[in-house]
Structure 1
């Protein structure tokens, strides 16, 4: 993958990236990574973050994995309100044990479309606070070649793109088998006496229908099992229990903001 391209024809709007530009040895010769043990402040507004299919199982331990939009894009739900991420703290840290999606881990690097040459090129978010001319780990060495750190980041982006294509194939498989249905996340509040109130719809999203899945022919289920798709489907279904955790985290955050102690 090329890492030193001229600007021009770069397209696409990517979550978290403010000023993406092609990585270039002339323009970015002095640029370096700023070491920060709490580097995730850029993701604090990421309510739903894209996931690749191989991330479903680890992500399911932390938050709901859903599908959204006409393309049924897999997302990790990390907040209940727009511009809110309940797992990224104000200081840029993430609580121990919470899975960090690869989409977040690759930042401030990203692949972008170069329409003029019909290919993907490596870009960086020049507006990122993680990059500076006075940073700690250089992007290029004295000869103008990508450092080992930069090479590793480029490989990570290439691997992510390969996983993204694999994810597209997985989603298409679910579409071909008509396994999607519209689902709702429901929250039932309780009053001061502990009595249940009126159920409230927290979110609507697309997910795999267990009824449709169970109705598939045995041969098709064996095929899904053999190609690994069935395990990912079950990871998605198990993750939906995470709506309860997400709601609980939101309630604790709201209570803390209001100065209320929650037992």
Structure 2
């Protein structure tokens, strides 16, 4: 079973064991995410990701975090084709772009270890860009990946704080979204939460002012607006079914 949604065999990156490791990148490198229908999202991505995907809040009560829906059924990402290409017109979430690297949190919660998924098909010792220079130092490719991981971790802390404030204001409610395909009966999407419009409207002036001042209100509006993309997911599924039938 995969760990962390898309990681098969995450291992701490080691300058000795992984000295000869190389990374191959290209337009057809997203096959690893073909079977995930949602991934976590950080607040820095809301404005852009909300143009393409529904943004919801997933997780157990008290632990909800933002996520984008990539498909309408389990193990089906509608934005990755059979060749491993991500849809050219759609934003690629940072959770996906940081792969095959990830940070593992230490016991104290302060120290992090850079890990790499040894199961990623784009890793090898023959082709691609090296992760380490001849002297054992980080290559430009690895240095860029580490900076990206660091930025993602900082954005994740902001995201955790944002969702905690939403919970403190009791703004999240369980919601079921109806999806109407071009043919056949409507289906329901559930198992997540959204910001309740009536609870948001009932907030007093000071609370609204605080949300406006810290940027939370803009994030909430981006989230609410993004829910219109559920029907776009349905349309994308319809197009895939038509293409499959033709082929």
- Is 1:121 aligned with 2:108? no
Q: 1: distance between equivalents of 2:153 and 2:5? A: 15
- Is 1:167 aligned with 2:167? no
Q: Which residue of 2 aligns with 1:211?
A: 198
Q: Which residue of 2 aligns with 1:54?
A: 44
Contiguous gaps of at least 5 residues in structure 2: none
Aligned length: 244
Contiguous gaps of at least 5 residues in structure 1: 1-11, 192-196
Q: Which residue of 2 aligns with 1:231?
A: 218
Q: 2: distance between equivalents of 1:217 and 1:239? A: 25
Report the TM-score when normalising by structure 2. Answer: 0.93
Q: Which residue of 1 aligns with 2:59?
A: 69
CA RMSD of aligned residues (A): 2.0
Q: Which residue of 1 aligns with 2:99?
A: 107
- Is 1:31 aligned with 2:21? yes
- Is 1:42 aligned with 2:32? yes
Cα separation, partners in 2 of 1:147 and 1:198, compared to 1, 3 Å? closer
Where do 4+ consecutive residues of structure 1 move more than 6 Å? none
Shift of 1:187: 2.5
Are the counterparts in 2 of residues 54 and 232 from structure 1 also a CA contact under 8 Å? no
Q: 2: distance between equivalents of 1:181 and 1:20? A: 34
Are the counterparts in 2 of residues 35 and 135 from structure 1 also a CA contact under 8 Å? no
Are the counterparts in 1 of residues 30 and 85 from structure 2 also a CA contact under 8 Å? yes
Q: Which residue of 2 aligns with 1:157?
A: 149
Q: 1: distance between equivalents of 2:219 and 2:237? A: 27
Report the TM-score when normalising by structure 1. Answer: 0.87
TM-superposition CA deviations, 1:123-150 (whole Å, max 9, x none): 0011111111012211000101111211
Cα separation, partners in 2 of 1:129 and 1:200, compared to 1, 3 Å? closer
Q: 2: distance between equivalents of 1:184 and 1:118? A: 37
Higher gyration radius (CA): 1
